[in-house]
Structure 1
């Protein structure tokens, strides 16, 4: 069982690494390639997606760290919801900002709900955990 948990954690760490890499690359793309090309109000949308992308990548990493030092699997659930939230929330905002297609904004709330669920799991796991690293 320990081996399965280690492999699961490694997969999460790979996904978090990809997410962090993309947050930096997409942020740089927005700052350098999009400035002056898309209207300022859509640039704000892009930057909001990038900000939440960073926040939740970092929080996902913290949740995986805590999952390794507690016996509570809820931390991994939190990390997973943060990563799913990034896909729906941040990437829908990136697409909306770049294309201007407003219907893409209808996807964003699903990501927001995933973020909220992840934070609720953090709260629940924190209350439930007996040991903290």
Structure 2
């Protein structure tokens, strides 16, 4: 099992490039702006030490391959929704309202390539559930 431990130092690291990501739900299409974490250092830092996250913004972790993964909330003061996504953009699991600073592992529950972290309550507000589809340049076309 791969373990993504989101963090390094407060305010440390380079700003990540933003990418658009479209959630296709029963509520319609919503474009999210996501920072991409696609190397080990960026994935390790994640959203640790962040005290705010704008609405409809998040971080997309791209592992480059499909595997079971697990995250934790160590050094993360924000409550987040964690959305586990297959390489084709289909959501396999949503874990809402994570507990800030928790070291309890949050597993994907199935092999995934991506994990999207957004502000807690975003998944519910947008209607993102297992089976929701995301569109973006990183997802394989069905």
Q: Which has the higher helix share?
A: 1
TM-score, L = length of structure 2: 0.23
Q: Which has the higher strand share?
A: 2
